[in-house]
């Protein structure tokens, strides 16, 4: 058990975050949604008078021709562009600094991210670095940006991170390998396009893992003690859409309706967690990612049912609400029964999607360090509904070892 005085301190921090989230304006991007909405956004960028863009993406998307329709539309609209495609999963400071060099060398006036969470997070940092003259390390943390970034636009090609609407950019320190978030409302893109058509080629395994990331955002924001009426509505809407569409998107990647609904779900979940935050699932998953390079969605999927089992007695009503939003209520089940049904449903989904329930890379000797870092991250940043101590966290993580 944690010392009650420590719990009071963490609860005080969570309350301060709630006040900050209520007081500080959280902008939303101008949203374009639907098939070919990415092309409509290109026209809107042109109408802003922007003459030259830095497109930030990855080599795979360029090689499969995913950018072609977008670059053609930009050219037709009179917007020049330079493509920087060196972003890898878990982008590092170096990738961002190199992107800034390309931006400056080519006198680009704005940044367009095309890709999953990594290119979008990297783009946010490139746009912020271009106007805030300080090293990335000094931008890490809460509200460190003095000036607004360059105009910045996002086209997500996965439905999971919600980065197109959040105030966060997560980068990796290339030396310590620790993930350092830059958190500032100025990081919200000016415009975003949710174009399900661009997500059709996404492999089933990536669709499943990123979709589970979106579901984790929806759940953790809903069980957060900082949830508000607003964020609750977004969390429930996202959960409903994910439960109705993720399976179809995984099994039939060309189903444009399922793809579009998943893109919207990810966006709603992003709106919810950017205010209400996440919790222990993300704290542990981030450390799996940092230590073993476990993809974020996969790490969340493995951790999620364990954290819900642990927290269940404090959040039974919340889990019951999520079960109802998921369409799991069939009769007059008690809240307890619905909560159990919801956790069971998550485990069933993981089996259906061939997502492992354990992490092969996890080594027993690493568990104390992972638990320590995860608890530090969670207790200083996340308004979790039920606190845990080092020993509990270690035994929880041990259950995830193969
Ligand atoms: Fe996430």
Residue pair 17/226 in contact (Cβ under 8 Å)? The answer is: yes
Same domain (yes/no): 149, 165: yes
In angstroms and rounded to an integer, the radius of gyration of the C-alpha atoms of the chain is 20
Q: CA distances (Å), 340 to each of 80, 242, 257, in order?
A: 54, 19, 30
20/377 Cα distance (integer angstroms): 18
301 is a domain residue = yes
Same domain (yes/no): 220, 84: no
Same domain (yes/no): 40, 167: yes
Same domain (yes/no): 11, 60: no
Residue pair 129/100 in contact (Cβ under 8 Å)? The answer is: yes
122/344 Cα distance (integer angstroms): 36
Same domain (yes/no): 219, 175: no
Beta strands in 281-395 (DSSP E): none
How many domains, the chain? 2
What pLDDT sits at residue 2? 64
Cα of 162 to ligand 1 centre, how many Å?
8
Same domain (yes/no): 42, 11: no
Residue pair 79/52 in contact (Cβ under 8 Å)? The answer is: yes
| 3-class DSSP assignment, residue 56 | strand
Cα of 214 to ligand 1 centre, how many Å?
7
Closest by Cα among 351, 369, 207 to 288: 369
Beta strands in 89-190 (DSSP E): 110-115, 141-142, 152-156, 168-172, 179-183
Domain range spanning residue 231?
4-21+203-398
Same domain (yes/no): 233, 334: yes
26 is a domain residue = no
Cα of 221 to ligand 1 centre, how many Å?
11
Same domain (yes/no): 184, 219: no
| 3-class DSSP assignment, residue 98 | helix
Cα of 39 to ligand 1 centre, how many Å?
27
pTM: 0.94
Same domain (yes/no): 258, 281: yes
Residue pair 286/382 in contact (Cβ under 8 Å)? The answer is: no
27 is a domain residue = no
Q: Measured over all CA atoms, what is the biggest interatomic distance in the chain, rounded to whole angstroms? A: 65
Domain boundary among 184, 199, 214: 199
Residue pair 357/298 in contact (Cβ under 8 Å)? The answer is: no
388 is a domain residue = yes
One DSSP character per residue, 169-200 reads EEEE-TTT--EEEEE-GGGS-SEEEE-GGGGT
72-99 residue pLDDT tens: 999 999 999 999 999 998 899 999 999 9
What pLDDT sits at residue 1? 59
Same domain (yes/no): 162, 238: no
What pLDDT sits at residue 44? 98
Beta strands in 57-178 (DSSP E): 80-84, 110-115, 141-142, 152-156, 168-172
176/10 Cα distance (integer angstroms): 26
Same domain (yes/no): 256, 179: no
Cα of 43 to ligand 1 centre, how many Å?
31
208/262 Cα distance (integer angstroms): 11
Within 13 Å, how many C-alpha atoms sit on residue 286's CB side?
22
Q: What is the CATH number of the domain that holds 66?
A: 3.40.50.1970
Domain boundary among 141, 176, 199: 199
Phi/psi for 224 (5° steps) reads -65, 140
Cα of 400 to ligand 1 centre, how many Å?
18
114/325 Cα distance (integer angstroms): 31
Q: What is the CATH number of the domain that holds 270?
A: 1.20.1090.10
Cα of 245 to ligand 1 centre, how many Å?
19
What pLDDT sits at residue 273? 95
28 is a domain residue = no
29 is a domain residue = no
Tokens, residue 237: 């809407």
| pLDDT-flagged residues of the chain (< 50) | none
Cα of 222 to ligand 1 centre, how many Å?
14
183 is a domain residue = yes
Q: Over the range 139-172, which residues count as b (16 or more CB within 10 Å of their CB) and which as e? A: bbeeebbeeebbbbbbbbbbbbbbbbbbbbbbbb
Within 13 Å, how many C-alpha atoms sit on residue 106's CB side?
20
165 is a domain residue = yes
Domain boundary among 141, 166, 199: 199
Same domain (yes/no): 195, 207: no
* Cβ count within 10 A of residue 4: 9
What pLDDT sits at residue 402? 86
Tokens, residue 325: 């939003």
Cα of 326 to ligand 1 centre, how many Å?
20
Residue pair 222/318 in contact (Cβ under 8 Å)? The answer is: yes
């Amino acid at each position: 058990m944690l010392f009650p005085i420590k719990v009071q301190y963490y609860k005080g921090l969570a309350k301060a975050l709630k006040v900050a989230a209520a007081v500080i304006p959280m902008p939303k991007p101008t949203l374009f949604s639907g098939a070919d909405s990415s092309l409509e956004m290109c026209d809107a960028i042109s109408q802003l008078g922007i003459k030259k863009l830095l497109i930030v993406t990855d080599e795979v998307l360029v090689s499969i021709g995913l950018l072609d329709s977008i670059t053609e539309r930009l050219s037709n609209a009179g917007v020049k562009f330079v493509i920087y495609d060196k972003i890898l999963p878990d982008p590092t400071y170096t990738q961002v600094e190199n992107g800034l060099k390309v931006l400056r060398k080519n006198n680009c006036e704005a940044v367009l991210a095309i890709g999953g969470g990594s290119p979008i997070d990297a783009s946010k940092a490139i746009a912020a670095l271009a106007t805030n003259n300080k090293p990335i390390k000094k931008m890490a943390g809460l509200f460190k940006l003095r000036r607004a970034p360059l105009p910045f636009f996002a086209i997500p090609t996965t439905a999971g991170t919600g980065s197109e609407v959040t105030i966060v950019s997560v980068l990796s320190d290339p030396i310590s390998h620790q993930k350092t978030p830059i958190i500032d409302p100025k990081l919200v893109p000016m415009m975003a396009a949710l174009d399900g058509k661009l997500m059709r080629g996404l492999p089933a395994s990536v669709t499943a893992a990123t979709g589970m990331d979106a579901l984790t955002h929806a759940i953790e924001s809903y069980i957060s003690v900082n949830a508000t009426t607003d964020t609750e509505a977004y969390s429930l809407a996202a959960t409903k859409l994910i439960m109705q569409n993720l399976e179809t998107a995984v099994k039939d990647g060309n189903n444009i309706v399922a793809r579009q609904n998943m893109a919207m779900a990810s966006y709603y979940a992003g709106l919810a967690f950017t205010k209400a935050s996440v919790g222990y699932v993300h704290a542990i998953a981030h450390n799996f990612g940092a230590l073993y390079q476990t993809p974020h969605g996969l790490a969340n999927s493995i951790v999620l049912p364990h954290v819900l089992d642990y927290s269940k007695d404090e959040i039974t009503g919340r889990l019951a609400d999520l079960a109802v939003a998921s369409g799991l209520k069939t009769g007059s089940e008690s809240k307890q029964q619905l909560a159990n049904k919801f956790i069971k449903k998550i485990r069933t989904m993981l089996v259906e999607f061939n997502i492992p329930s354990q992490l092969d890379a996890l080594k027993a000797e690493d568990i104390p360090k992972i638990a320590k870092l995860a608890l530090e991250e969670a207790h200083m940043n996340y308004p979790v509904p039920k606190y845990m101590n080092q020993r509990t966290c270690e035994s929880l993580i041990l259950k995830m070892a193969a």
